[in-house]
Amino acid sequence: MKRNLKVLIVGAGPGGLAVAAALGSAGVPTTIVERATSVGSSWRGHYDRLHLHTARFLSGLPGMPIPRQAGSWVSRDDFVAYLEAYALRHALDVWTGTEVLRIDRTDGGWRVATSTGEVDATHVVVATGYNRVPLLPEWPGRGAFAGTLVHSSRYRSGAEYRGKDVLVVGAGNSGAEIAVDLVEKGASRVRLSIRRPPNVVRRTVAGVVPSQLVSILLSRLPLPFADAVARATARLTIGDLRKLGLPAPDRGIYTEMIRDRQIPIIDVGLVSALRAGRVEVVAAVEGFDGSSVLLLGGGSIRPDVVVAATGYRPSLEPLVGHLGVLDEHGLPREHGETQVPGAPGLHFVGFSNPPTGNLREMAIDARRIARRVAKS
């Protein structure tokens, strides 16, 4: 194994690949370490129905656009194929099957302990992403639930649950899309458990303009004004969802995205399913009792299956928790080209949820990191 590197990147997802390609274009030798056996491993594990919620022309990585034949909204399989082609196109040096265990400061840079030995590097870029460890709440009685409980990371297709009564827990984009997938694949009943009322937006405005493009424009405005414009647009394009059981959100769309890192539901069929009565909204899950799911407020239901679309943890603590670079939520205190004081040469990419699109921001961060590293 190589011992001394200029740049070591942890993670061969889109963020890590983008930084490596940008550094390569700047003439900086770079190596990527990936614990899985292939690039884009987290994307390979997503459910079958998944498509990017960001527009194809705004989602490409530096130096290679996503091919037009992938369509306006790129499928999971097409995006994985794009990542594979991207790594080949840029001749990226990727060590697969190698897990990074810990990153420590040295006099001249960083020492990275991996499953196959130690590596010294002048610069380290952590690009392991949000979706590293599935998060399943410790609901009381969870272990004794008589039905089937599965985290969304293990969900593949609603066809597996045809004829079943299914409860989806979590009103993020995964939960909303899984609920629609279950309806389309023939589940007998689909309910969506919501703890915090979500904002919902159309994927396109007037059926033509991607909402992401509107978000890029509005992100330059003060939060109250951006929230007001987004609220008016949602009222015109979505309508009032309260009569369908979906309470009004507590905060504006842009306030939620920027301050709470909460992305709105990008509607790919949920609103129609709610209006048709094919998805029912229920209260938050409080626990389990045998075959019953206990809901906030005292109600209970008896689904055959519970799909927990309850998110993930980045789980960065084992890698860098001792360095003082994480905030109270376990996320990097600084992101992109900006470094935490006292940690020169350590960068993080792909840990934000920007209203302008995560892949777009990864590409921007990659170019900025490359420029900074190339000058050092």
CATH code, domain carrying 219: 3.50.50.60
For residues 32 and 17, is the Cβ–Cβ distance under 8 A?
A: yes
| Residue given tokens 């009032």 in the structure block | 240
pLDDT tier at 108, thresholds 50, 70, 90: confident
For residues 314 and 331, is the Cβ–Cβ distance under 8 A?
A: yes
For residues 195 and 85, state if they share a domain: no
Q: State the pLDDT at residue 1.
A: 53
For residues 330 and 351, state if they share a domain: yes
Q: CA-CA distance, 283 to 192, in Å (whole number)?
A: 8
Q: State the pLDDT at residue 235.
A: 84
For residues 99 and 225, state if they share a domain: no
Distances (CA, A) of 237 to 194, 256, 262, 279: 22, 20, 21, 20
Q: CA-CA distance, 308 to 288, in Å (whole number)?
A: 13
Is the confidence at residue 2, as pLDDT, over 60? no
Residues contacting 207, CB < 8 A, separation 6+: none
For residues 243 and 368, state if they share a domain: no
For residues 167 and 234, state if they share a domain: yes
Between CA 237 and CA 245, with CA 241 as vertex, the angle to 5 degrees is 160
Mean pLDDT across 135-154: 96
β-partners of residue 189 are 165
Distances (CA, A) of 181 to 156, 192, 245, 301, 358: 10, 12, 20, 21, 24
Please indicate, yes or no, whether the overall pTM of this predicted structure exceeds 0.85. Answer: yes
For residue range 317-327, list pLDDT tens digits in order.
999 999 999 99
Residue type, 81: A
Longest CA span, the chain? 63
Last residue of one domain, picked from the residues 308, 323, 345: 308
For residues 300 and 334, state if they share a domain: no
pLDDT tier at 251, thresholds 50, 70, 90: confident
β-partners of residue 301 are 293
Classified as helix, coil or strand, 293 is: strand
Residue type, 201: V
For residues 355 and 301, state if they share a domain: no
Last residue of one domain, picked from the residues 308, 340, 366: 308
Q: State the pLDDT at residue 27.
A: 94
For residues 303 and 260, state if they share a domain: yes
For residues 327 and 296, state if they share a domain: no
For residues 60 and 182, state if they share a domain: no
Determine which helix (DSSP H) or strand (DSSP E) holds 356, and give its type and residue range.
none
Determine which helix (DSSP H) or strand (DSSP E) holds 307, and give its type and residue range.
strand 305-308
For residues 279 and 270, is the Cβ–Cβ distance under 8 A?
A: yes
Range of the domain at 30: 4-132+314-375
Instruction: Name the residue with higher pLDDT: 223 or 27.
Output: 27
pLDDT tier at 355, thresholds 50, 70, 90: confident
For residues 271 and 156, state if they share a domain: yes
In the chain, the N- to C-terminal Cα span, in Å, equals 25
Q: CA-CA distance, 223 to 292, in Å (whole number)?
A: 42
Q: What is the number of structural domains in the chain?
A: 2
Is the confidence at residue 124, as pLDDT, over 90? yes
For residues 296 and 286, is the Cβ–Cβ distance under 8 A?
A: yes
For residues 96 and 116, state if they share a domain: yes
Last residue of one domain, picked from the residues 264, 288, 308: 308
Alpha carbon of residue 122 to chain centroid: 29
For residue range 257-271, list pLDDT tens digits in order.
877 778 889 999 999
Q: Percentage of residues in the chain with pLDDT exceeding 90?
A: 74
